[in-house]
Amino acid sequence: MANIAYIPGDGIGEEVTSQGIKVLEYLDGAYNLGLKFEKFDLGAERYLKTGDILPIAVLNKLETFDSIYLGAVGDPRVEPGVLEKGILLKLRFYFDQYVNLRPIKLYKEEFSPLKGKGLEDIDFTVVRENTEGIYAGIGGFLKKDTPDEVATQEMISTRKGVDRVIKYAFEYAQKFGREPKLTVCDKSNVLTYAHNLWQRSFKEMGKNYPEVEQNHFLVDAMTMKMVRNPEIFDVVVTCNIFGDIITDLGAELQGGMGMAVSGNINPDSISMFEPVHGSAPDIAGQNIANPLAAVLAAGMMLRELGYGNLTPKVEAAVKSALENNMVTADQGGDLNTDEVGDYLVKTLKSNE
């Protein structure tokens, strides 16, 4: 049993997530999961018609669901940032989704930009702190617009904030890690306050997880290792800004934004799953958008809802689509968005 709030959003959001819904509905029927979906019309159309972005009544309603499945928001008719801030960031903060979970997994050998590194090598998960650090928005200007101007930006790390994301990462490694191994990525040699706290938290929390191998990389070394030896990573935990940067590097390792998936998670509240790409207005409404990231996001949501046995099935179907070139034009295929979704369902059925 799970109630899923479905926010298709703008542009290609609806086209790609409807393939994810198709896959979820098939699995629901085949495995008797008891999934229920309710659609929410948040996004540009609603905003342009009514002036509402995300009214409190809708937030209160969303609170009664188990999970949110989201397409993308953003529209050329609306000032950049309004919908992203008003919907995505608002939901993230309202539900205190303090983990951003980003699997970095290569699904097709030819997508690898790294010589000699393939499916076995590029397969790890980044747990990014999602609420504090240098993105907390604290700082200011002194003597603004003068030659002596000084701008400051503070990095906030709270004991509770760091402990909870590190704990989540250990739990995740223990449950879903391959080895399992957890790497903490920071800059504790230079950020001697904020990342000293990260170091202490990691070491103390680590005592509770003796079966999880534990290691540490400074972020600069981390970027080199991600390119040279990505196979050494299993689960990686890091602060907000470093997570932002290394997950983009990771997206390239797995074949670009078309394959990148994101979970905004609060294990005690409501989590939200989405493809990383945007609403892509340039190709919207043509049934040509690539739905694979949206479908993988639905697969990731199943794990969070307690149906983790089905996540690998979704991943295997995506892998099969890529291997058999049953994909959209951006990945060299000649199927449209709907046909890719149909192929995935057909594959799930025959793998049952």
Catalytic positions: 135, 187, 220, 244, 248
User: 56 burial class (0-12, 13-18, 19+ CB within 10 angstroms)?
Assistant: exposed
Distance, in Å, from the CA atom of 185 to the CA atom of 236, rounded to the nearest integer, reads: 7
Which residue's Cβ lies closest to ligand ATP? Answer: 278
Q: Which stretch binds ligand ATP (CB under 6 A): 32-40, 110-118, 274-282, 316-324?
A: 274-282
Judged by beta carbon, residue 265 or residue 294, the one nearer ligand ATP is 294
Phi-psi region of 145 (alpha: psi -120 to 50; beta: other; left: phi over 0): left
Q: How far is the CB of 253 from ligand ATP (least distance, A)?
A: 17
Give the residue, chosen from 277, 303, 313, 319, that forms a contact with ligand ATP under the rule CB under 6 A: 277
**Residue 175 near residue 167 (C-beta atoms within 8 A):** no
Q: How far is the CB of 308 from ligand ATP (least distance, A)?
A: 25
Q: Does 71 bind ligand ATP (CB under 6 A)?
A: no
Judged by beta carbon, residue 184 or residue 340, the one nearer ligand ATP is 340
Judged by beta carbon, residue 70 or residue 191, the one nearer ligand ATP is 70
Q: Does 74 bind ligand ATP (CB under 6 A)?
A: yes
Within 10 angstroms of residue 135's Cβ, the number of other Cβ atoms is 17
Q: How far is the CB of 217 from ligand ATP (least distance, A)?
A: 28
Q: How far is the CB of 137 from ligand ATP (least distance, A)?
A: 20
User: 115 burial class (0-12, 13-18, 19+ CB within 10 angstroms)?
Assistant: exposed
Sheet with 181-186, edge to edge strand ranges: 35-39, 2-9, 67-72, 271-275, 261-265, 99-105, 123-129, 235-238, 181-186, 213-218
* Cβ-based neighbours of 181, under 8 Å, separated by 6 or more: 173, 212, 213, 214, 215, 233, 234, 235
> Which residues 325-344 are close enough to bind ligand ATP by CB under 6 A?
330
Lookup result for tokens 């960031």: 89
**Residue 311 near residue 35 (C-beta atoms within 8 A):** no
* Cβ-based neighbours of 308, under 8 Å, separated by 6 or more: 176, 302
Q: Does 278 bind ligand ATP (CB under 6 A)?
A: yes
Q: Does 247 bind ligand ATP (CB under 6 A)?
A: no
Judged by beta carbon, residue 280 or residue 298, the one nearer ligand ATP is 280
Amino acid at 138: I
* Cβ-based neighbours of 338, under 8 Å, separated by 6 or more: 19, 287
Q: Which stretch binds ligand ATP (CB under 6 A): 49-57, 104-112, 203-211, 280-288?
A: 280-288
**Residue 8 near residue 18 (C-beta atoms within 8 A):** yes
Give the residue, chosen from 279, 311, 320, 347, that forms a contact with ligand ATP under the rule CB under 6 A: 279
Q: Which stretch binds ligand ATP (CB under 6 A): 98-106, 214-222, 233-241, 278-286?
A: 278-286
Q: Does 290 bind ligand ATP (CB under 6 A)?
A: yes
Of 98, 124, 104, 137, residue with least CA distance to 239: 98
Rg (C-alpha) for the chain, rounded Å, is 20
Q: How far is the CB of 119 from ligand ATP (least distance, A)?
A: 22
**Residue 16 near residue 275 (C-beta atoms within 8 A):** yes
Query: Taking CB under 6 A as the rule, which mask of x and - marks residues 170-209 in contact with ligand ATP?
Result: ----------------------------------------
Q: Does 164 bind ligand ATP (CB under 6 A)?
A: no
Q: Total number of residues binding ligand ATP (CB under 6 A)?
A: 15
Give the residue, chosen from 24, 35, 101, 289, that forms a contact with ligand ATP under the rule CB under 6 A: 289
Task: Give contact residues for ligand ATP (rule: CB under 6 A).
Answer: 12, 16, 74, 257-258, 277-283, 289-290, 330
